[in-house]
A and B are shown apart, each in its own frame.
Chain A
Amino acid sequence: NAGVTQTPKFQVLKTGQSMTLQCAQDMNHEYMSWYRQDPGMGLRLIHYSVGAGITDQGEVPNGYNVSRSTTEDFPLRLLSAAPSQTSVYFCASTRMGLGTEAFFGQGTRLTVV
């Protein structure tokens, strides 16, 4: 059971480039989300999804797009990378409803130069 898998683990981008961070889970969880964590800070919610075809904005959505075409996958797209998007990105998934734990991926460390 792989849990939540994020790829790539590390990435360096030039300013203005675009890329997609991948997140996949094999637990049939309805809820998936993306966070960013800047050095010495807590996790901030970027976007989340409560099921295939449904996405919503979190605390810091600007500069990021998401889509949810399947239950398993929730990719995060950076349309035009900026140095301010240098961060560690975490994906999480959980079953819907209260009283359920969330599972996190191991993160993608992104540097924008």
Chain B
Amino acid sequence: DAKTTQPPSMDCAEGRAANLPCNHSTISGNEYVYWYRQIHSQGPQYIIHGLKNNETNEMASLIITEDRKSSTLILPHATLRDTAVYYCIVRVNRDDKIIFGKGTRLHILP
């Protein structure tokens, strides 16, 4: 089973920041948090990952709580092209399986 919990859907106005939450209360010390997104029925696309510290790249920012039990993906200026299903994944370290949950369907509203 997936080790993460995400809201099934969210709306965000175009141009505003989209904040997507993820709970991973059973995460262990050396497991990373990854975010992917899937636009329409294309293959999932990597966005960002982190261990303990907050991370930022050209696509998004990842904020991980100090206890590492939850995280938030931030898309700073959402556009219509960000409409997608966003998956939060905790990487199982002993065998590197990548297990997807149900994700959050993000609707960007014009």
Contact A98 B30 (CB under 8 A): yes
Contact B41 A88 (CB under 8 A): yes
- Interface centre among B30, B51, B99, by most chain A C-beta atoms within 10 angstroms, is B99
Taking CB atoms, residues of chain B closer than 8 Å to A102 are 36, 44, 46, 98
User: Whole-angstrom distance between the alpha carbons of A48 and B99 in the complex?
Assistant: 11
Taking CB atoms, residues of chain A closer than 8 Å to B49 are 99, 101
Is B110 part of the contact surface with A, judged by Cβ < 8 Å?
A: no
Taking CB atoms, residues of chain A closer than 8 Å to B85 are 42
Taking CB atoms, residues of chain B closer than 8 Å to A99 are 32, 49, 51
User: Whole-angstrom distance between the alpha carbons of A35 and B85 in the complex?
Assistant: 16
Contact A45 B98 (CB under 8 A): yes
Taking CB atoms, residues of chain A closer than 8 Å to B30 are 98
B47 to chain A minimum Cβ distance, whole angstroms, is: 9
Secondary structure at the A interface, as helix, strand, loop or mixed, is strand
Is A106 part of the contact surface with B, judged by Cβ < 8 Å?
A: yes
A35 to chain B minimum Cβ distance, whole angstroms, is: 7
Contact B93 A104 (CB under 8 A): no
User: Whole-angstrom distance between the alpha carbons of A4 and B98 in the complex?
Assistant: 16
Is A74 part of the contact surface with B, judged by Cβ < 8 Å?
A: no
- Given contact pairs A50-B96, A98-B51, a sample of 12 additional A-B residue pairs in the complex whose CB atoms are under 8 Å apart: A33-B97, A45-B100, A48-B96, A50-B95, A56-B95, A58-B97, A59-B99, A97-B96, A98-B32, A101-B34, A101-B46, A102-B44
**B52-85 at interface with A (beta carbon < 8 Å):** 85
**A59-113 at interface with B (beta carbon < 8 Å):** 59, 88, 90, 92, 94, 96-99, 101-107
CB 8 Å contact bits of B82-110 with A (1 = contact, 0 = none): 00010100010101111111110000000
Taking CB as reference atom, which chain A residue is nearest B93?
A98
Taking CB atoms, residues of chain B closer than 8 Å to A101 are 34, 46, 49
Contact A103 B51 (CB under 8 A): no
Contact A42 B102 (CB under 8 A): yes
